[in-house]
Structure 1
Amino acid sequence: MAFLYCLVKSINTPHKSSLYLAAIMLCSYVLSDYLYIVKHVYLNWIFYDFLTIAFIILAIKKAFVTPSLPAYLIIIGLTINSLLVSLIYYDLYILGTIKEWWFWSFYSISINMIDLLMVASLVLNLDPVNINRYTQTITLKDKSGISNE
């Protein structure tokens, strides 16, 4: 959905950085669901996270993607996701843990929250210009005496 939103938003604009980031993320998630490079699903997700980070860095170096807050948030989010996935893989397959414990819930909530934040950073296009515009809009509404309730 973030890709479609970025596609529609970038049709008549010269700035396509969010669209390219969303396309890289879309390709990564679709390929990781259908194309298994390694045997275990968790190792596959780790591989695709690092591959996605590499593509984003390459896109920044080739100037397809501007080095912006959404790009950095996605790189940080994918790094944290791959760390959490590697820990859950270690817990399940190396240690052989079969009894549920707090980390499994932490893993599930964290992965979903990080994915949601990455999508939100693409949709909101969190760059300094937009953040400044959002804060000025909020400040103007507060000063105008209009209640936020």
Structure 2
Amino acid sequence: MDMFIGILIGALGVLAAIYHPEIRRKLGLDPSKSSLTTLNRPKYQAVVSGFYGARDFSNFIAANDDGLVYLDIQIDEDEFQGGESEFTLFEEAYETIGSGEKPSVFNSTGTSYQINIADSAGDAVSYIHRGFYHLRGYFAVVGCSGPNQGLMSCLLRGVKIDSIGR
């Protein structure tokens, strides 16, 4: 019986590891890195969670700086700071985060994203619903800069679908 429980725990550990973003990428299972939209643009679809998820999203945005991407992300409201037009994701703690504390500029580094969807005619959306932040649509990665006081900064500008060339 003990051997069965040990095997079961080991198998569950392997399954859980497969869902970890960095392990999925090493195994070549990360569809967000190789997927393209029907308009031949890089696509990132994920529930962004924790330092690893934030770092994975940040790496995708940085790799597509000055480019056009399709985003479909959800972030638990406990995982980021900000609102519909600006949010910060923390990617690494430089100090120990105490019990009951959250990552912040006082203990972690990350990236601050400014979202501009004014000219997207509703084709790009940014909203908070039932405890999750949602960002969906085509976005121009206008530029990333920094770090400034431990944070990188990126502007994501929503784009109308009919303005995208093939």
For this structure pair, what is the TM-score category when the shorter chain's length is used for normalisation? Answer: under 0.3
TM-score for both structures, normalised by structure 1: 0.26
Larger CA Rg, structure 1 vs 2: 1
TM-score for both structures, normalised by structure 2: 0.24
More strand by share: 2
More helix by share: 1
Q: Choose between structure 1 and 2 for higher RCO, CA contacts under 8 A separated by at least 6 residues.
A: 1
